[in-house]
Structure 1
Amino acid sequence: MQPVIDEIADDVYRISTWIPDVTPEGFTFNQFLLVADEPMLFHTGPRGLFPLVAEAVSTVVAVESLAWISFGHVESDECGAMNMWLAAAPDSQVAFGALGCDVSLNDLCDRPPRALAEGEVIDLGGKRVRQISTPHVPHGWEAQVLFEETTGTLLCGDLFTGIGASPALVESDVVGPALAAEGMFHATALAPHTGATLRGLAELAPSTLAIMHGPSYRGDGGQALRDLAAGYDEMTEAAGVPRIAP
C-alpha cells in the first residue's frame, strides 16, 4: 500500500496507492499534486491514507506549503482527509464549486472553503485551473472537474474509472476498461445529459487525463471523452432513459 509518485505532465504529479482487496484485480486511489507558486492537491484520499500520501507529497513540496485543496465530489476517497490536510497546511483553503460549498462543504470544512463561480479560473502562479461543474456526471449533484490550462490536463475525478494495478501514464485505450468497470460497479448516474456533459468536456481538447482510479492518459483526450460518451449513450438508451442531444 505504499504510494507511488510519478510526473504525468509538466509539474503535475500522480500519487497512486494500489489497494489489493477492493476488486479481484485491486484498485488504485490517486491524488494529483500541481506544483506552482501556490501548490494545489486534487483529491485528499481517505483519512487512513493521509500519513502515506502526505509523506509522498513531501518528496516534491513541503506539505505546509499547500495553498489549495480540491476534488471531484464529496466522497470519502475524494475528500475524507480534507481537514487533516487543512491542519497540516495552515494557509491552505478548499476550493470548490459554489453548489458543493452550499450543500456540504461550508459545514464539513474546518476552515471556510472558497466557493468558485462556474468556469472561474484560479491562477496558481505557473498553473491555471478552471472549475467546470458536471452535476451527476459521473455521480453527485455537486460533481465537478478542474482543467489545468497550461498543460492541458483534465482532473477527471471518477471519470474513466478502471480496476486493477496500472502504470502511471498510458497512451492506450482507457475507454474500454472504464466501460468494463461500469459494468461491474454501476457507479455512474445514467441521466439524459450524461453523454452531452462528456462531449462538452471534449471541447477542451485535453492532452492529459488525470484519472482517479486507473492510469492517467496522454493523447487525444477529447476523442476519449467522446468515445466514453458514446458508450454511456448506449447504456442510457438500453435503460430507456431519454437522451439530451449535444
Structure 2
Amino acid sequence: MAALSLSSDTTIHEISERIYRISTPVQIPGGGGFSFNQYLIDDDDPLLFHTGLRRLFPVVREAVERIIPIDRLRYVGFSHFEADECGALNEFLAAAPHAEPICGQIAAMVSVSDYADRPPRALADDETIPLGQHSVRWLDTPHLPHAWECGFLMETASATLLCGDLFTQGGSHNPPLTEGDILEPSEAFRHEMDYFSHTRNARAMLERLAALQPTTLACMHGSAWRGDGAALLRALADSVERA
C-alpha cells in the first residue's frame, strides 16, 4: 500500500482490490488535525464517492488522474448533501463529461436536482449499479448519522461499505487502513462534537448494515478499517444506545 507521489499532502492507497482511498490532511483552527477522504472504484464504469470540498478540487482531481483519466469517470456519488461530500460536484462534472451524479431520492428532491449542473440519478433504496467487476448497492440511512437524505453504498464484490461519516476519527495523519480499534476514537469524537442526529431508528439501520457482513469500512474521515464489520457496526449501535 505505498502512497503515490503527489504535489500536495494528499495521499492515495488501495484499500481493497481497485478501490482507492484519496486522503487530504488539514489543520482546523482551534480543532487540531482532520482528514477528508474520497474513494475511487476503478472499473469499466469508474465511481468516485465523495468529491471533497470545492477548494480541494485541484488536489483531488490530481489524485484521481494518477489512477484513471478524469474523463473516464462515470459516476460521482456521496452520502448526503454537505460541502465535504459534494462541494466539488460541479467541478468534477465539468471535467468528466460522461459522469453522472448519483444520490438517494430524497437528496435529489431537496437539493441535488437544483445544485448539480447535470440531472442526478436518484437511487431507490436497495438499487444496485453494476460497474464492471464491482457493483454498488444504495442503502437509505435517513438521519444516520445525520441528514434526512443520508445513505451509503455497499460494494458487493469486495464487501466494502462506503460508510460516509460513520466512525469519523479526528487527526490528520491516521494510517490509511487499519485493523485496530476505531470505535473508541470515533466515539470520543462523536461525544465531543455530537454530530449524530440520535434518530430512534439507529439500531435498526445499523443492524441492516451489519447483516451485509462488510469486511472493509471506507470511512470519510480518518482510517479505513478492515475486519469483522458486522461486529463493529453492532458495537456502534450499543454505544449509541448508551449515549
Asked if TM exceeds 0.5, the reply is yes
- Structure 2 residue runs of 5 or longer lacking an equivalent are 1-7
Contact in 2 for aligned 1:162/1:214 (Cα 8 Å): yes
Counterpart residue type for residue 13 of structure 2: D
For the residues of structure 1 that align with 2:29 and 2:84, how far apart are their CA atoms?
A: 13
Question: C-alpha root-mean-square deviation of aligned residues, in Å?
Answer: 1.0
Aligned to 1:13: 20
User: Can you list the C-alpha shifts for 1:60-88, whole angstroms capped at 9, x where unaligned?
Assistant: 00111100000110000000000000000
| Aligned match for 2:97, one of 90, 93, 105 | 90
Partner residue of 1:31 out of 35, 38, 42:
38
Selected match of 2:219 from 203, 207, 211: 211
Q: Is the 1:45–1:79 contact (alpha carbons within 8 Å) kept by the matching residues of 2? A: yes
Q: What 5-or-longer segments of structure 1 have no aligned partner?
A: 236-246
- Report the count of equivalent residues: 235
Instruction: Describe the SS at the equivalent of 1:33.
Output: strand
What amino acid does structure 2 have at the position aligned with 1:184? E
Shift in Å at residue 24 of structure 1?
A: 4.5
Amino acid across the alignment from 2:190:
E
The CA deviation string for residues 19-51 of structure 1, in whole angstroms up to 9 with x for no partner, is 122565400100000010000000000110000
1:58 aligns with 2:55: no
Q: Report the alpha carbon displacement of residue 98 of structure 1 after superposing the two structures with TM.
A: 1.2
Paired residues of 1:23 and 1:163 also in contact (CA < 8 A) = no
Following superposition, the deviation at residue 195 of structure 1 comes to 2.0
What secondary structure is seen at the aligned counterpart in 1 of 2:214?
A: coil
Return the alpha-carbon distance in structure 1 between the equivalents of residues 108 and 27 of structure 2. 33
The aligned residue for residue 164 of structure 2 is: 157
* More moved, 42-51 vs 13-22: 13-22
Which of the residues 41, 46, 51 maps onto 1:44? 51
CA contact (8 A) 1:54 1:63 kept: yes
TM-score for both structures, normalised by structure 1: 0.93
Letter in 2 for 1:56: A
Which one-letter code corresponds to 2:234 in the other structure? R
- TM-score using structure 2 length: 0.95
Seq. identity, %: 46
Q: Which residue of 2 aligns with 1:242?
A: none
From 149, 157, 160, the counterpart of 1:142: 149
- 2:129 counterpart (122, 130, 138): 122
